[in-house]
Structure 1
Amino acid sequence: MKLLSSISTVVFLFFILPVVPQIIADLNSDRQALLDFAAAVPHIRKLNWNASTSVCTSWVGITCNTNGTGVVAVHLPGVGLYGPIPANTIGRLNSLKILSLRSNSLNGKLPSDIPSLPSLQHLYLQQNNFSGVFPALLSLQLNVLDLSFNSFTGSIPPTIQNLTQLTALYLQNNSISGAIPDINLPRLKALNLSFNYFNGTIPSSFQKFSYYSFVGNSLLCGLPLKRCPTISSSPSPSPNDFLNPPTKPQSHTASNKKLGSNSIIAIAIGGSAVLFLIIMVIFVCFLKRKDGARNTVLKGKAESEKPKDFGSGVQEAEKNKLFFFEGCSYNFDLEDLLRASAEVLGKGSYGTAYKAVLEDGTSVVVKRLKEVAAGKKEFEQQMEVIGRVGQHPNIVPLRAYYYSKDEKLLVHNYMSAGSLSAFLHGKLSFSSIIMNKFCFPFLHIFFCITSITWH
Structure 2
Amino acid sequence: MGLNEELIAVVVFLLVSMGCSDLDSDREALLSFKEKADLKQTLGSSWTGNNPCTDNWDGVICNSDNRVVKLRLENRRFPGVLENGLGQLTELKVLSLKGNNLTGRIPSDLSRCRRLQKLYLNSNRLEGSIPEALLTLQDLDRVDVSNNHLSGSIPAAIGGLRKLLTLRLEMNSLTGGVPDVSNIPNLTDFNVSWNNLSGPVPSAMASRYPTAYVGNSALCGPPSFAPCPPKSRTQKPSQQIIVIIAVAVIGAFVLSFSALFFGYRYLRASSKDVDKSDTATTGTEKKEMASGDIVFVTRDAGKFQLADLLQASAELLGKGSLGSTYKALCTGGFVAVKRLVDRTGCSKKVFERRMGIVGRMTHTNLLRLRAFYFYARIEKLLVYDYMPKRSLHNVLHGNSPGTPSRLSWSKRLKISLGVARCLKFLHHQCKLPHGNIKSSNVLLTERYEARVSDFGLLPFVPSDQALEKNGYRAPECQTASDISRKADVFSFGVILLELLTGKLPAEEESSGGDQAGNSSKMDLPSWAIATVNDEWTSAVFDNAIEVSKQEQMNGLLKVAMACVTRAAEERPKMIQVVQMIEEVEAIEVSPDLSYI
**Would the alpha carbon gap of residues 156 and 233 (structure 1) be closer, same or farther in structure 2, given more than 3 Å must change?**
closer
Distance, in Å, in 2 between the alignment partners of 1:59 and 1:296 is 52
Assess if the C-alpha contact under 8 Å between 2:206 and 2:222 holds in 1: yes
**Would the alpha carbon gap of residues 106 and 23 (structure 1) be closer, same or farther in structure 2, given more than 3 Å must change?**
same
**Would the alpha carbon gap of residues 407 and 298 (structure 1) be closer, same or farther in structure 2, given more than 3 Å must change?**
closer
% identical equivalent positions: 29
**Would the alpha carbon gap of residues 112 and 210 (structure 1) be closer, same or farther in structure 2, given more than 3 Å must change?**
same
Distance, in Å, in 1 between the alignment partners of 2:15 and 2:466 is 44
1:76 — aligned with what? Answer: 73
Distance, in Å, in 1 between the alignment partners of 2:185 and 2:193 is 21
1:93-134 per-position Cα deviation (integer Å, ceiling 9, x unaligned): 101111111111111222211255322111111111111122
Assess if the C-alpha contact under 8 Å between 1:43 and 1:79 holds in 2: no
1:193 — aligned with what? Answer: 192
1:209 — aligned with what? Answer: 208
Q: Are 2:295 and 1:177 equivalent residues in the alignment?
A: no
**Would the alpha carbon gap of residues 214 and 56 (structure 1) be closer, same or farther in structure 2, given more than 3 Å must change?**
farther
1:15 CA displacement: 5.6
1:301 CA displacement: 4.6
**Would the alpha carbon gap of residues 202 and 334 (structure 1) be closer, same or farther in structure 2, given more than 3 Å must change?**
same
1:266-298 per-position Cα deviation (integer Å, ceiling 9, x unaligned): xxxxxxxxxxxxxxxxxxxxxxxxx96699956
Distance, in Å, in 2 between the alignment partners of 1:164 and 1:304 is 36
**Would the alpha carbon gap of residues 313 and 335 (structure 1) be closer, same or farther in structure 2, given more than 3 Å must change?**
closer
Assess if the C-alpha contact under 8 Å between 1:320 and 1:335 holds in 2: no
User: Given residue 29 of structure 2, which amino acid in structure 1 is its aligned partner?
Assistant: A
Distance, in Å, in 2 between the alignment partners of 1:95 and 1:120 is 8
Q: For 1:17-416, list aligned pairs within 5 A.
A: 17-44=13-40, 45-47=42-44, 48-52=46-50, 54-65=52-63, 67-87=64-84, 89-114=85-110, 117-138=113-134, 139-183=137-181, 184-229=183-228, 231=230, 299-301=417-419, 315=436, 317=458, 334=482, 409=566
1:356-403 per-position Cα deviation (integer Å, ceiling 9, x unaligned): xxxxxxxxxxxxxxx99589x9799xxxxxxxxxxxxxxxxxxxxxxx
Q: How many residues align?
A: 279
Rg (Cα) greater in structure: 1
Distance, in Å, in 1 between the alignment partners of 2:423 and 2:175 is 39
Assess if the C-alpha contact under 8 Å between 1:195 and 1:217 holds in 2: yes
1:408 CA displacement: 7.8
Distance, in Å, in 1 between the alignment partners of 2:180 and 2:423 is 42
Structure 2 gaps, min length 5: 236-362, 366-410, 425-432, 438-457, 468-480, 488-503, 509-518, 523-562, 569-596
**Would the alpha carbon gap of residues 128 and 233 (structure 1) be closer, same or farther in structure 2, given more than 3 Å must change?**
closer
1:410 CA displacement: 7.2
**Would the alpha carbon gap of residues 212 and 69 (structure 1) be closer, same or farther in structure 2, given more than 3 Å must change?**
same
TM-score, normalised via structure 1 length? 0.51
User: Given residue 141 of structure 1, which amino acid in structure 2 is its aligned partner?
Assistant: D
User: Given residue 417 of structure 2, which amino acid in structure 1 is its aligned partner?
Assistant: K
Q: For 1:417-432, list aligned pairs within 5 A.
A: none
TM-score, normalised via structure 2 length? 0.40
> What SS class does the counterpart of residue 103 from structure 2 fall into?
strand
Distance, in Å, in 2 between the alignment partners of 1:334 and 1:378 is 26
Assess if the C-alpha contact under 8 Å between 2:142 and 2:166 holds in 1: yes
Structure 1 gaps, min length 5: 1-5, 237-290, 307-311, 324-332, 340-370, 381-405, 412-455
Distance, in Å, in 1 between the alignment partners of 2:566 and 2:151 is 38
1:245-283 per-position Cα deviation (integer Å, ceiling 9, x unaligned): xxxxxxxxxxxxxxxxxxxxxxxxxxxxxxxxxxxxxxx
Assess if the C-alpha contact under 8 Å between 1:24 and 1:69 holds in 2: no
User: Given residue 142 of structure 1, which amino acid in structure 2 is its aligned partner?
Assistant: L
**Would the alpha carbon gap of residues 137 and 296 (structure 1) be closer, same or farther in structure 2, given more than 3 Å must change?**
farther
